[in-house]
Structure 1
Amino acid sequence: MDPMSGMVYLIGAGPGDPGLLTLRGAELLGRSDVVLYDGLSNVELLHQAPSAQHICVGKHGQQRIWRQDEIANAMITHAMAGRTVARLKGGDPAVFARTTEEVDALVDAGIRYEIVPGITAALAAGSYAGIPITHRKLASAVALVTGHEEPGKAESALDWDALARFPGTLVIYMGVTTAGHWTRSLIDAGKSPGTPAAIVRRCSLPDQQTFHCRLDEVADRLTPASKIRPPVIVILGPVAELAETRSWIAPRPMLGRSVLVTRPSDQVDPLVGLLRDLGATVLVQPAIAIGPPTDWAAVDAAIRQLHEQDFVVFSSRNGIRFFLNRVLALDLDTRVFATCQIACVGQKTAEALQDFHLRADWIPKDFRAESLAEALSDQVSGKRVLLVRASRGRDVLARSLSAAGAEVSEVTAYQHTDVVSADAKILELASDGKIDWITVTSSATAENLHRMFGASIKHSRVASLSPVTSETLRSLGYTVDAEANPYTMQSLVQKILETEEGK
């Protein structure tokens, strides 16, 4: 193999929930130049590969499914061009994923590769549906079976007689369109028609569904496929009857509700995680993007002149991140703040300082710029104050501190830019009233959401992070249904939940 050629990683994407990706899988996605992903891979995993080219190799009902030779050729072409390729495969690459064909092609082409395991759907379905697929008294063995066999084949590759006698749990993959064939084959081979069955759809995702029936009722439940659409796993055996007493998903309070998160893409994780833990289906559509300033000259000058300042004021976590990282990039360290007092607009902003081993001297209790200005007003007369800010935003601090007698200078540590267009599918869902909640975390976000979505926003409930954001939303003609207090992501989610519960 040519050590100078690229590398291919065949990564198991897991059953659906992006949080179930392995650490190794996330690490390698972050290294990749190209990601080839299939329809069973959650597209949110692509956030782990922000700099890579993303290529979908097909999704049932939405676009053409690539042939195996096309997938292999794409992997080889990119790898031979020296690129790192992530082949993202639903579930585990070693379980009904046709990985052998892809590996054979890579070996023949002399391409280096690694296989990264994932959580296969059978194991996840058992856990997420509350079904122990092994049980000390009921099932000491498990068989994973493909249901994707043509009914008209002259000879089945499966030994139905042996499967009918199997003394444990059967888990059927890809068995929706062929349910009539494989259920009949099992019954004809002696499997009891009354064998308990659990049909698990969209395993591990917030809208997961579990249907309980008997083996002889499965085909009627699954076919035609429009009744219960794939992806589906069927669990057969006495353990399937245990699900009702062991289910832990159903009680989640926002199960079946959809929430649109509009924060910048590198800041969505905390809010998305909180909502998912409550069972919500989360959609992500950033309204603004955050990046470094087009020219660092002003920031560099401000850093080198920090010894002349009496106060440094940070109005956001982003300001801290960009400013402090620039300090380090200049081969300096936190000693540049030795002569300054540091003020932060809120507790979460102050917590970001701790990542750089710094502590804030001033934090308002209610996380408002007005409150910080009031707290500092008696301290700054005749003092020099540096405000570290975004390229756009309110001027409350600068005006108030200047009025209090401070000599205020400002430096833009990061840029806000509007996202030009929204994802077409999310726009369609919003227009059709299929998004229950839209979260809005800043005035800039509110204004660009208005431009992108317009009146479609009115089909959803709106949750605002602060009174200032709420004021902007109302000025644009929207109703604010929930407002965080204090102004944190945890509070925002709690207010959504309380509104849902009618509190």
Structure 2
Amino acid sequence: MTAQRSGAGANDGSTHRPRVAVFRPDDDRLRDAVALLDSLGVKPVADSMLAVEPTGALPRDDAAFVVFTSKTGAELVAEEWTAGEETVCAIGEPTAAALREHGISVDVVPETFSSTGLVDALGDSVDGSRVEIARSDHGSDVLPEGLWDAGAYVHETVLYRLVRPDDAGESVRLAAEGDLDAALFTSSLTVEHFLAIADERGQREAAIEGLRAAVVGTIGEPTRETATDHGIDVDVVPHTADFEALTEAVLDRLEGE
């Protein structure tokens, strides 16, 4: 199984194009992911496992620190929320860029794009201060617990809910039939939704077996832990927590097989 990284033979049928499942929300992120995979000579299986439902809520305005954990959250509030004297924190450069594009200055972006990285970056500076976390309804406990342990008073505002699209599941069928070459899980929720569909179809065992024969990549340790806790073998976790790094790492592994 060899990925055609240069795209050679990708469209003429002369070379097998590995099927690579991608689970990003059905917006620019999924379209960009499909374009990237196609340009690298593999066959994208666009199977969005996440749909965004905005709540209409905005971050509270009495916190000393406001934390945005995703590009989605930043984009949802950027036109309606104005920063005051708060220290604005963003996990990841895409999140920071979305805020800056709307004129919101970002004060802290941790070197490690994760909840743990942000807690480490803030250190003792949050001791005794109110910290507002603005994110989805499926954020992990790592960030609030870490901030509480650092002495902060933590409040969370849910900016959007992440739900499973009704038409999701093509990748589950392919995995269960042994026709999936790789899977790119970008959050714990994508793993959970994949397995929920497999359960509903009575294909959980077959789907997990199909993933064992494929190359499975996850972004970040929390996603890896979720996958392994549910019996999915994870082959690749890139050092950089972004989709392009995940794609490159998974395709490197495919080329080596």
**Shorter-chain TM-score category?**
0.7 to 0.9
Match of 1:378 among 124, 132, 135: 124
Contact 1:341–1:361, Cα closer than 8 Å, also in 2: yes
Query: Which residue number in structure 2 is paired with residue 286 of structure 1?
Result: 48
Contact 2:215–2:253, Cα closer than 8 Å, also in 1: no
Question: Residues 406 and 496 of structure 1: is their aligned pair in 2 closer, same or farther, counting only changes over 3 Å?
Answer: same
Contact 2:172–2:194, Cα closer than 8 Å, also in 1: no
Q: Kindly tell me the number of residue pairs found equivalent between the two proteins.
A: 241
1:438 paired with 2:183, answer yes
Contact 1:421–1:452, Cα closer than 8 Å, also in 2: no
Query: Which residue number in structure 2 is paired with residue 462 of structure 1?
Result: 216
Query: Which residue number in structure 2 is paired with residue 149 of structure 1?
Result: none
Gaps of 5+ in 2: 1-6, 199-203
Shift in Å at residue 419 of structure 1?
3.1
Counterpart Cα distance in 1 of 2:255 and 2:105: 38
Counterpart Cα distance in 2 of 1:319 and 1:432: 36
Contact 1:270–1:489, Cα closer than 8 Å, also in 2: no
Contact 1:309–1:339, Cα closer than 8 Å, also in 2: no
Contact 2:83–2:104, Cα closer than 8 Å, also in 1: no
1:275 paired with 2:37, answer yes
Contact 1:263–1:285, Cα closer than 8 Å, also in 2: yes
Equivalence map 1:47-196=2 (5 Å): none
Match of 1:356 among 87, 102, 108: 102
Give the TM-score normalised by structure 1: 0.45
Contact 2:91–2:114, Cα closer than 8 Å, also in 1: yes
Runs of 4+ in structure 1 deviating by more than 6 angstroms, as ranges, are none
Equivalence map 1:313-328=2 (5 Å): 313-327=67-81
Deviations 1:63-113 (A, max 9, x none): xxxxxxxxxxxxxxxxxxxxxxxxxxxxxxxxxxxxxxxxxxxxxxxxxxx
Amino acid at match of 1:413: L
Shift in Å at residue 290 of structure 1?
1.1
1:488 paired with 2:230, answer no
Shift in Å at residue 351 of structure 1?
1.9
Match of 2:195 among 427, 433, 450: 450
Counterpart Cα distance in 2 of 1:426 and 1:379: 45
Greater C-alpha radius of gyration: 1
Counterpart Cα distance in 1 of 2:177 and 2:142: 39
Counterpart Cα distance in 1 of 2:235 and 2:31: 23
Counterpart Cα distance in 2 of 1:289 and 1:426: 16
Deviations 1:288-321 (A, max 9, x none): 211211xx3xx24x4xx52x22111011111111
Q: Name which structure has the greater RCO, CA cutoff 8 Å, separation 6+.
A: 2
SS of residue matched to 2:158: strand
Contact 1:419–1:448, Cα closer than 8 Å, also in 2: no
SS of residue matched to 2:184: strand
Gaps of 5+ in 1: 1-127, 130-204, 211-249, 328-335
